[in-house]
Chain A
Amino acid sequence: QVQLQESGPGLVKASQTLSLTCFVSGASISSGTHYWSWLRQPAGKGLEWIGRIYTSGVTNYNPSLRGRVTVSADMSKNQFSLELTSVTAADAAMYFCARDGPGYYFEYWGRGTLVTVSP
């Protein structure tokens, strides 16, 4: 059973960097068969895809966030991470990590972690 668990500070100051980690169990992120993604959902709003990483280190990012976002992976710890710089109130959201299916869809999700941005 593939399980994902997000971890990170729930409160970030505006203009600073948001850093989250997704711990994966039941699957190896180094297996080379899936992408691993980050998504977010502001309170009461819809979902937004942030970016993803493949085993080889290839990354894809949402153009609206490009320049502020970095997704990286630590194969030895079977985890991948998100960094979002220069955060504003608009970045406050529930952040989810997910494993992509073989195509463009999100097969397994973490429970999410809430990030609040303070002034």
Chain B
Amino acid sequence: QSALTQPASVSGSPGQSITISCTGSSSDIGGHDYVSWYQQHPGKAPKLIIYEVSNRPSGVSNRFSGSKSADTASLTISGLQTEDEADYYCFSYSSGITYVVFGGGTKLTVL
């Protein structure tokens, strides 16, 4: 059981926008701005795409954006492309006993 809750799957068509939610608690997402998002293609290592809620690392497309409201963080991908089809994981620092927590992952299908 992951400490952060993500939808198991989302889908969209090329060119559309989708949003993946990540719900936690006041101990993690709601209490800190240390939320990050990772993209993972099959058989590959995860790749950092958003850090500290809304910052993009150098080289990551500006089609990826992050936000947070209360205990829920969100990843939005605009202008969907076929190469965006992957698993997406959220991650947060936690002031609780677990120290850090991951979401269970969301499979994005680009139809």
Q: Verify that A and B bind, or say they do not.
A: yes
Which residues of A come within 8 Å of B, CB atoms?
A: 46-49, 60, 62-64, 96, 101, 103-107, 109-112
Q: By the criterion CB–CB under 8 Å, are B100 and A104 in contact?
A: yes
Interface residue tally on B, bucketed by range: 20 to 34
Measured between beta carbons, the chain B residues less than 8 angstroms from A96 are 45-46
A63's closest neighbor in chain B, by CB? Answer: B97
1/0 per residue, CB under 8 A from A, across B30-53: the answer is: 001010101000001111100110
B104's closest neighbor in chain A, by CB? Answer: A46
Q: By the criterion CB–CB under 8 Å, are B45 and A111 in contact?
A: yes
Contacts A63-B97, A103-B93 known; list 18 others, CB within 8 Å. Answer: A46-B2, A46-B89, A46-B104, A46-B105, A49-B100, A62-B98, A62-B99, A62-B100, A64-B98, A96-B46, A103-B34, A103-B51, A104-B34, A105-B91, A106-B38, A106-B48, A106-B91, A111-B45
